[in-house]
Amino acid sequence: MTGAEILVKSLEREGVDTIFAYPGGASMPVHQALTHSKKIRTILPRHEQGGAFAAEGYARVTGKAGVVMATSGPGATNLITGIADAYLDSVPLIAITGQVASPLIGKGAFQETDMFGMSLPVVKHNYLILDIADIPRVIKEAFYIAQTGRPGPVLIDMPKNVQEAKARPVFPETIDLPGYHPLPTAEDAPLRQMLDLIAGAKQPMIYCGGGIVSGEASAELLEFVERTGIPVATTLMGVGGFPENHPLSLKWLGMHGTVYANNAVNEADVVLAISVRFDDRVTSKVERFCERATIVHLDIDASEINKNKPVQLAIQSDVKYALGRLNAMLEEEGKARVPHDFCAYPAWYAKIRAWKEQFPLSYRKSDKVIQQQYVVSLLSEMTQGKAIITTGVGQHQMWTGQFYEFLKPRTFLTSAGLGTMGFGYPAAIGAKVARPDVEVVDIDGDGSFLMNVQELATAHIERIAAKAIILNNQHLGMVVQWEDLKYGSNRAHTYLGDPKHKEQIYPDYVNICAGFGVKCERVLHKKDLRDAIQRMLDAKEPYILDVMVPYTEHVLPMIPGGMSYKDVITDSARSKLTA
């Protein structure tokens, strides 16, 4: 077999059924081999970055590694943003790049880049294959590393001459990585300490993140909460890891999280930080975050413990194991599971309830315009929270997190760590490929959607019924919000329309989509929105809604960067944001 054929066979052995791959000179042999595969569907994105995000979408809804491939040079470098995105959000991804022939490496050959060196800061591991005999082992190791422990991207760089060489492959059945221990399990002693702290707490809180989702620990978390009665706030990456219709859910915390979640976590006396990394969008001024609490940090990755925030009790463990063991201990103590009517901390519940009543997620409703919050709320109602939702990055991303009610893990796909505009629609494509039985809708902004608009062609040609709602305010909304806050509303290149013809809607997404063979309708009036959404949901093909919304809306609440939860800007302080 050729090296390319061995690569494809190795992918098949790992259960790969889909690869997003854009061909070029240094990857052509693999594409030729893929045409003969009966098990792998090769989807041609229209840009390598779109392919990377689609592979991420696939991975985020399945938990399996998504696979993307590009040629050498610019094809490979176009993957870097997607690889970095997967790295920061702990998403399993296999990125395969063609490389110039091995004798030319380091010679400045046509379309040569050092992908091994270039990708080092944003991968969990990477490989440069120089021997055809290594291909089966490398592929098996790469999937194991990407999918176990704290998930992440693995890059495989493969010179063209290795792809074209021939050998008799030996496919390994086992993996030998002596220095890699992906599933640490906590001993009972620190878990007992954790339960003792809970027993002495009066105002405990759980602050949990994306590791609950990637660690498949949502069921264990729910049981733990219902045995202890401790309220829960998630990070943006943790959304869906705990059902938001649960009486102990406070939704999510951070810069644009709920006031009551931020208050509760910061005023708790014991904080159980589970599978989180204390990132700045949650903590803001980190030294003032949870400054009166005893913090327990449970995480699979030892490098995250005490990195951003010193804690009083650190537990390194696979979260599914740790929560399962904690539940068993609570069962032994006679702590029964109570799905409703929690009574463990009545004074604490009352305080949280008062915050919820004083600072609900709300907005000043208008009948004159279609507000972004209304669009998201209506979609949540019409889909009953059962759709898979992707987003781009910006105001629409925050409103989606606030006003869509997420009930299950792997239903909210967003670029949280890297904050990558252009993520939403290609991620929706990947998610729909992985879950064709579920409605997939990208809630996007006009600026973010345009960054990978070419993937409409992929959706049309491949018959992938990924939908999108564009909240079109003709501006870079989140930057505009900061301009209003810090710069007296001076607009510094944040208007996306045509300044000479402001009465026109530009770009014209209806005609753009038509050019790609995708249906699109523009919605101008609130009375027309529900029927338009229903037509979109009923469609069996890609369908885009271009919904015109005002640029004057701001995402609130908001904790300005570098400030504490007490400095939050709420709806009552809207005047601080508008000139």
CATH code for the domain in which residue 158 is found? 3.40.50.970
Pair (19, 107) in one structural domain: yes
Please give the pLDDT value at position 577. Answer: 43
In the residue annotation, 48 being an active-site residue is answered as yes
Q: Is residue 407 part of a domain?
A: yes
**CA count, 13 A, side-chain hemisphere, 573:** 12
Does an H or E element contain 68, and which? strand 66-70
Going by C-beta distance under 8 Å and a sequence separation of 6 or more, which residues neighbour residue 48? Answer: 22, 68, 70, 75, 76, 78, 79, 82
SS (H, E, C) 449-518: HHCCCCHHHHHHHCCCCCEEEEEECCECHHHHHHHHHHCCCCCCCCECCCCCCCCCCCCCHHHHHHHCCC
Domain termination site, one of 303, 328, 358 = 358
Q: Is residue 323 part of a domain?
A: yes
Query: Residue 363: its pLDDT value, please?
Result: 92
Distance of CA 343 to the CA centre of its chain: 34
Residue 173 forms part of a structural domain: no
Core vs surface per residue 115-154: b (16+ CB within 10 A) or e: bbebbeebbbbbbbbeebebbbbbbbbbbbbbbbbbbbbb
In this structure, are 508 and 376 located in the same domain? yes
- Collapsing DSSP to helix, strand or coil, 240 comes out as coil
Residue of 255, 421, 478, 536 with catalytic role: 478
Catalytic residue, from 1, 14, 28, 111: name it: 111
Burial label, 1 (beta-carbon count in 10 A; 0-12, 13-18, 19+): middle
* 296 strand-pairing partners: 272, 313
Per the domain annotation, does 531 fall within a domain? yes
> pLDDT of the chain along its 579 residues, tens only?
999 999 999 999 999 999 999 999 999 999 999 999 999 999 999 999 999 999 999 999 999 999 999 999 999 999 999 999 999 999 999 999 999 999 999 999 999 999 999 999 999 999 999 999 999 999 999 999 999 999 999 999 999 999 999 999 999 999 999 999 999 999 999 999 999 999 999 999 999 999 999 999 999 999 999 999 999 999 999 999 999 999 999 999 999 999 999 999 999 999 999 999 999 999 988 999 999 999 999 999 999 999 999 999 999 999 999 999 999 999 999 999 998 889 999 999 999 999 999 999 999 999 999 999 999 999 999 999 999 999 999 999 999 999 999 999 999 999 999 999 999 999 999 999 999 999 999 999 999 999 999 999 999 999 999 999 999 999 999 999 999 999 999 999 999 999 999 889 999 999 999 999 999 999 999 999 999 999 999 999 999 999 999 999 999 999 998 899 999 999 744 434 443
Range of the domain at 311: 188-358
Query: Residue 76 phi/psi, 5° resolution?
Result: -70, -45
Specify the pLDDT at position 340.
86
Question: Do 427 and 347 share a structural domain?
Answer: no
Residues 226 and 99 reside in one and the same domain: no
| Residue 421 annotated to the active site | no
Distance from C-alpha of 498 to C-alpha of 213, rounded to nearest angstrom? 42
**Does the annotation count 478 as an active-site position?**
yes
Dist CA 422 CA 82 (whole Å)? 10
* End position of a domain, from candidates 335, 358, 381: 358
Cβ–Cβ under 8 Å, residues 241 and 215: no
Based on the structure, what is the number of domains in the chain?
3
Question: Do residues 306 and 334 both lie within one domain?
Answer: yes
Q: Hey, what amino acid is at 187?
A: E
Instruction: Tell me the β-bridge partners of 70.
Output: 97
Strand arrangement, sheet containing 93-99: 41-43, 18-21, 66-70, 93-99, 153-159, 125-128
Q: How far apart are CA 15 and CA 97, in angstroms?
A: 20
CB 449 within 8 A of CB 427: no
Q: How many CB atoms lie within 10 A of CB 559?
A: 24
Residues 94 and 194 in one domain: no
CATH classification of the domain holding 206: 3.40.50.1220
Termini Cα distance of the chain: 68
Whether 110 is catalytic: yes
Residue 577 resides in a domain: no
Q: Are residues 545 and 494 in the same domain?
A: yes
- Give the whole-angstrom CA distance, residue 89 versus residue 419: 10
* 226-252 b/e (C-beta count within 10 Å ≥ 16 → b): bbbbbbbbbbbbbbbbbbbebebbbbb
Same domain for 385 and 352, yes or no, is no
Catalytic residue among 5, 9, 20, 48: 48
In a domain, 180, yes or no: no
Residue at 220 is within a domain: yes
Residue 82 forms part of a structural domain: yes
Gyration radius of the chain over CA positions: 24
Return the pLDDT at 579: 32
Say whether both 378 and 351 belong to one domain. Answer: no
Q: What is the number of other CB atoms lying within 10 angstroms of the CB of residue 82?
A: 34
Name the CA dihedral angle for 114, 116, 120, 123, rounded to a multiple of 10 degrees: 130
Tokens of 232: 């829960």
The tokens of 388 are what? 């898979």
β-pair type (519-523, 440-445) = unpaired
Amino acid 572: pLDDT: 47
Residues 151 and 208 in one domain: no
Taking the CA atoms of 183, 185, 190 and 194 in sequence, report the sign of the dihedral they define: positive
Do 331 and 460 fall into the same domain?
no
Are residues 107 and 228 located together in one domain of the fold?
no
Active-site residue flag, 160: yes
